[in-house]
Amino acid sequence: MSRGRGAVDPKRVSSELFSLTYGCMVAQLLKDFENPEEVNKQLESMGYNIGVRLIDDFLAHTPSVTRCTTLEEVADILCKQGFKMFLGIVPEIKNWTAAKDEFSLVITENPLAEYVELPPNCQDTLWYSNIICGVIRGALEMVQMDVKCSFVGDTLRGNDSTEIRIKFVKILEDSLPAGED
Amino acid sequence: MIFNLYIFNSSGDCLFYSEWKRKKHTDMSKDEENKLVYGMLHSLKSFVSRISPDTSDSFQSYQTNSYRLTVYETPSGVKFVMNAALELPLQATKDILQSLYKEVYVEYAVKNPMLSLQSPIDSDLFKDKLEAFINSKIN
């Protein structure tokens, strides 16, 4: 049985299907929870569960990456390799604080929000792509780094740019198994 | 050539154990043996990086008259430990463990949302794929 034209690598899915699926999911969450703040929390939580597993996928495919020691290294690898690998975009890194413990990630083209317009009732409260914040938090927690990650602007809400603020909290200590000192 | 394999997560739980050719067994329970192996790894890792004359390092392998133990630890804390015969060179064991992580663990354990990674992996698919992978490496 031959595969004609239009044959696609079975592991690849069209990005439109992905955007549509994500959009359906957000719409359903809004219907179920009715409160956009609650939906933000749910998206972050879902993202966290994705992140804790996605990190292993990322590390397996980039064996040259070792544990980062500074937030700058993290920002660099996150944008140039992480985002590139999974979303096909490379966000810009901006607005470092003087203490280098906080930075902004600016996304110019968001594949999740390609065909989206927010309805007026959640225009000011919903962070549509909040799942990304959860993914970043979950993934970094698995490499022992505790960060706070949140949206500060979204073009869907009429802001100038889609911007995520990432703040370093602390390094998590490797936990010892029970019974050890 | 490959005697046995342990997989530990970052909190020290043994996610998986499998043996192919083990003539001598310890007289402890599986639980105790897993704790012993993990404790040894933890202590050796700490010792190795403290004594290191250069930059901070990580423990990779030890060798005796009859076997070589190789460990591959991912930055996410997952540890793959393999005991193999000396005929299998060190680099080969390292490559096997790295490929195991990428082709079996990530694909069939991590990507399976129904599987918890905090307790022993209970998936026939994972076991089968791992066996097939190891068998392809031994031959």
- Three-class secondary structure of residue B55 per DSSP: coil
In terms of CA atoms, which chain B residue is nearest residue A56?
B106
Q: Which helix (H) or strand (E) holds A152?
A: strand A145-153
Contacting B with CB below 8 Å, chain A residues are 53, 55-57, 59-61, 63, 65-67, 142-144, 174-180
pLDDT at A140: 94
pLDDT at A129: 94
pLDDT at B58: 83
CB A162 within 8 Å of CB A153:
yes
> CB under 8 Å to A15, separation ≥6 — which residues?
A88, A111, A114
- Work out the average pLDDT over B38-51: 90
At A53, the amino acid letter reads R
Mean pLDDT over each residue of chain B, to the nearest integer = 91
In A67-111, DSSP assigns E strands to 92-94, 102-107
Helix ranges (DSSP H) in B9-110: 30-51, 90-100
Check CB contact under 8 Å for A177 and B106.
no
A180 against B68, higher pLDDT:
B68
- A169, pLDDT greater than 80: yes
Closest CA to B78 of B50, B49, B38: B38
pLDDT at B21: 87
Note which residues in 22-61 of chain B have CB less than 8 A from chain A.
Answer: 35, 38-39, 42
Check CB contact under 8 Å for A61 and B74.
no
How long, in residues, is chain B? 139
Closest CA to A77 of A2, A140, A169: A140
At A124, the amino acid letter reads D
> CB under 8 Å to B17, separation ≥6 — which residues?
B4, B5, B6, B7, B30, B34
| Identity of the residue in B35, B39, B78 whose CB atom sits nearest the CB atom of A56 | B78
pLDDT at A10: 65
The string of pLDDT tens digits covering residues A81-100 is 999 999 999 999 999 998 98
- A114, pLDDT greater than 90: no
> CB under 8 Å to A90, separation ≥6 — which residues?
A79, A80, A83, A84
- A177, pLDDT greater than 80: no
User: How far apart (Å, rounded) are the C-alpha atoms in residues A143 and B74?
Assistant: 9
Closest CA to B16 of B82, B76, B61: B82
How long, in residues, is chain A? 181
Q: What is the Cα A51 distance to its own chain's centre?
A: 8
pLDDT at A150: 94
Burial of A46 (0-12, 13-18, 19+ CB in 10 A): middle
| Identity of the residue in A59, A176, A179 whose CB atom sits nearest the CB atom of B75 | A59
Q: How far is B34 from chain A (nearest CA, A)?
A: 11
- A3, pLDDT greater than 60: no
Closest CA to B100 of B74, B124, B76: B74
- A67, pLDDT greater than 90: no
pLDDT at A68: 85
- A2, pLDDT greater than 60: no
Q: How far is A123 from chain B (nearest CA, A)?
A: 32
pLDDT at A102: 93
- Work out the average pLDDT over A122-133: 93
Q: Out of A1-5, B33-37, B57-61, B92-96, which region has the weakest mean confidence (pLDDT)?
A: A1-5
Closest CA to A61 of A86, A88, A89: A86
At A6, the amino acid letter reads G
Structure tokens at A159: 């802001």
At B43, the amino acid letter reads S
Strands A92-94 and A162-171, sheet pairing: unpaired
The string of pLDDT tens digits covering residues B72-82 is 999 999 999 99
The string of pLDDT tens digits covering residues A4-58 is 445 566 667 788 888 999 999 999 999 999 899 999 999 999 999 999 999 999 9
Partner residues linked to A103 by β-bridges:
A166
User: How far apart (Å, rounded) are the C-alpha atoms in residues B12 and A177?
Assistant: 6
pLDDT at A178: 52
pLDDT at A7: 58
ipTM for the complex? 0.88
Q: Which helix (H) or strand (E) holds B2?
A: strand B2-8
The string of pLDDT tens digits covering residues B92-129 is 999 999 999 999 999 999 999 899 989 999 999 999 99
